[in-house]
A and B are shown apart, each in its own frame.
Chain A
Amino acid sequence: MTTNVKPVPDGTHTINAYICVKGAADAIDFYKRAFGATEVMARITDGTGRIGHAEIKIGDSLVMMADEHPEMGFVSPQSLGGCPVLFMINIPDVDAMAARAVAAGGRLTRPVENQFYGNRTGEITDPFGYRWYLSTHVEDVSEEEIARRHAERDKSRAAAG
């Protein structure tokens, strides 16, 4: 046993996503077009054409994925009928990335708009059922101002009934 192994591989973060996708090859193509992903490892496919493992990078972050393997209990949001997790992508231009993702075939499930806490955000649901919350920080807002805007928002929501 070698003792000088790297306990944490280069190019990874503490938490790294591993997603199950129905149609992983199409998904990789979508993530390239929508989010500028690059494929960073050789893609491994089994004898029936299912992707057993692939790795992409979106910005500085690794996302690993495989096709559905129901015999192992590894199934995608499409088979589960929903997705309880969303990925937050921090990028410099949320409008541009949202437009790009929609052009690639994503659905804008929350419009791109400024939030009271200083971020401009929107949500894309991809054709495979995953949700991506896109965000650009546009304004440094003080605690007091956040509280004031929050209260104002609640008031206007109440007025709207």
Chain B
Amino acid sequence: MSASDAVTVSIEVGVPPAVAFDVFTAEIDAWWQHGPRYRFVAPYGGVMKLEPRAGGRLLHVHDEAAGLLFEVGRVRVWEPPTRLVFSWRLDSFAPDEITLVEVSFEPAETGTLVTVTHRGWDSLRLDHPARHGQSGRAFVLFRGRWWADLLAAAKAHAERAQCTTDPRGGVRP
């Protein structure tokens, strides 16, 4: 595996692991940023949805009834509140091209250490559009910043919601 086959992004979130897991999964649309940089297919609004079970789909939905949706991937491992693995692809991926995202939720001093590891990039050719012409550290930082922005938004959402429901920092009902 090369240094740029996997990108890991981690952040401490001030809520317990069970809450962090719920925020990441059930509340995914509340924090997943909008616009062409973060959402998958045009028009870049819509709703992000994660079906909460092994085999469930991660979807970018515009109109589910009309079938206007993009399947980002499927849940490979569903182990609340500690671990989640799903496949991840862009619209530009060929059917046999796939990457994997593993998310872990570990107890930390301040709440939960959320770690996203996005791997499998070595399987994509160097001129793949998903690479945006980058390799090595530049590619790691490019992909890493994408997750870093999303995790920062998830953290802000989790800590804001925690604060409004229970100022003492207890688990939300």
Q: Identify the A interface with B (CB < 8 A).
A: 39, 41-48, 50, 52-53, 69, 71-72
**Is B4 an interface residue, CB under 8 A from the partner?**
yes
Bin the interface of chain B by size. 20 to 34
How does the 8 Å CB contact mask read for B1-29 relative to A, with 1 for contact and 0 for none?
Answer: 11111111111100000000000000000
CB distance from B44 to the nearest CB of A (A): 14
**Is B46 an interface residue, CB under 8 A from the partner?**
no
| Given A43-B10, A45-B9; A53-B119 close (CB under 8 Å) | no
B3, A44: Cβ atoms under 8 Å? Answer: no
| A-B CB contact pairs (8 Å), 28 listed | A42-B10, A42-B148, A42-B151, A43-B9, A43-B10, A44-B8, A44-B9, A44-B141, A44-B144, A44-B145, A45-B7, A45-B8, A45-B10, A46-B3, A46-B4, A46-B7, A46-B8, A47-B2, A47-B5, A47-B6, A47-B7, A47-B119, A47-B140, A48-B3, A52-B137, A52-B140, A53-B141, A72-B137
| Given A47-B1, A52-B144, A53-B141; A42-B6 close (CB under 8 Å) | no
**Chain A residues, Cβ within 8 Å of B144:** 42, 44-45, 52-53
**Is B70 an interface residue, CB under 8 A from the partner?**
no
Most chain B Cβ neighbours within 10 Å, of A48, A69, A72: A48
Q: Identify the B interface with A (CB < 8 A).
A: 1-12, 119, 136-137, 140-141, 144-145, 147-148, 151-152
The main secondary structure of chain B at its interface with chain A is: mixed
In the A-B complex, the 6 residue pairs with the closest CB atoms: A44-B144, A47-B6, A42-B148, A42-B11, A45-B8, A46-B3
Residue of B nearest to A69 (CB): B137
Residue of A nearest to B11 (CB): A42
CB distance from B116 to the nearest CB of A (A): 8
B148, A44: Cβ atoms under 8 Å? Answer: yes
**Chain B residues, Cβ within 8 Å of A52:** 137, 140-141, 144
A44, B8: Cα distance in complex, Å: 6
Of A43, A44, A71, which contacts B140 at CB under 8 A?
A: A44
B9, A42: Cβ atoms under 8 Å? Answer: yes
**Chain B residues, Cβ within 8 Å of A43:** 9-11
Residue of B nearest to A52 (CB): B140
CB distance from A76 to the nearest CB of B (A): 15
A139, B93: Cα distance in complex, Å: 65
A50, B137: Cα distance in complex, Å: 10
CB distance from B157 to the nearest CB of A (A): 14
**Chain A residues, Cβ within 8 Å of B141:** 44, 52-53
